[in-house]
Amino acid sequence: MIDIHHHCLPNVDDGPREWDEAVAMCRMAADEGIDTIVATPHVLRGRWRSARRDELEARIATLREKVGASPRLLLGSEYFFGHDVAEVLREGTAIVPLAGSRYILIELASNSVPPLLDQPLYRMQLDGWIPILAHPERNIVFQSKSNLLASLIDLGMKTQITAGSFTGAFGPEARVAAEKWLRRGLVHIVATDAHNTTKRPPKMREALEVVRAVAGDDVADAVTRRNPGAVIENRPLAWEPEPSMERNGGFLKRMRALLGSRA
């Protein structure tokens, strides 16, 4: 398996503080069947100091030396969304694309979806970048408005679901959303979003079994191996399901309301 969202670089964000834990995370990931990790330190303006790219490259080189050949370690970042994302990408300094590809991992706050989100995502796609939205199943707006997520996918965005969401690690709402979206074709990639060896470890096997049970072996292979493999090789995704819009009883609901108002 290939993990494109993993906070394993020490002392750059809320991931591990020491090299020993960073190494232990990588070895735990290998034990879970993960053979490639993309390190994705946060890019959060105003909250953490965002490390320079040369510093991140030096750190991942050191981690490779300490870990050895397996798992393979690549560099990326997780960018906290700002409406100037296209401009930041043009500057070429703050955001590190996933494994040097055209794919950009973007996160939102867990309790909101920014207005006019589609416009900056469209502008960055015009420049050749492909946005991947990190853990939307943990966002309370998307949990209740999955058609909003489907509409963004229709506009070219990809999604990355957290492995722990399939096992209940992020609560029942995230688990329900993850499984429902998997059935509806709203999931492109599953990744660990690991941060440490205890509360947020790089667990994947249990989630893989849930995905297999819900959607079958082919989809499980696509979201844990083939699609993330396409990302790190800078290719179009190998598997892109057709997202389905959820029917919320719109017509019948309006008719009932209308008839009720006449009663």
> pLDDT (tens digit, 9 = 90+) per residue, 228-248?
999 999 999 999 999 888 776
> Residue 253: what pLDDT?
44
> pLDDT (tens digit, 9 = 90+) per residue, 3-53?
999 999 999 999 999 999 999 999 999 999 999 999 999 997 665 567 889
The answer, yes or no, to whether residue 193 has pLDDT greater than 60, is yes
> pLDDT (tens digit, 9 = 90+) per residue, 109-138?
999 999 999 999 999 999 999 999 999 999
Which of 70-74, 89-93, 241-245 has the weakest average pLDDT? 241-245
251 vs 149, residue with greater confidence: 149
> Residue 48: what pLDDT?
58
Model confidence at 104, in pLDDT bands (50, 70, 90)?
very high
What single string gives the DSSP state of each residue in the chain?
-EEEEE--STTSSSS-SSHHHHHHHHHHHHHTT--EEEE--EE-TTTSPPPPHHHHHHHHHHHHHHH-SSSEEEE--EEEP-TTHHHHHHHTSS---GGGSSEEEEE--TT---TTTHHHHHHHHHTT-EEEEE-GGG-HHHHH-HHHHHHHHHTT-EEEEEHHHHTTTT-HHHHHHHHHHHHHT---EEE--B--SSSS----HHHHHHHHHHH-HHHHHIIIIIHHHHHHTT---S------PPP-SHHHHHHHHHHHHH-
> Residue 247: what pLDDT?
73
Model confidence at 167, in pLDDT bands (50, 70, 90)?
very high
Question: CATH code at 226?
Answer: 3.20.20.140
49 vs 201, residue with greater confidence: 201
Percent above pLDDT 70 for the chain: 92
Parent domain of 222? 2-262
Give how many domains the chain has, as a whole number: 1
With 0.85 as the threshold, say if the pTM is over it: yes
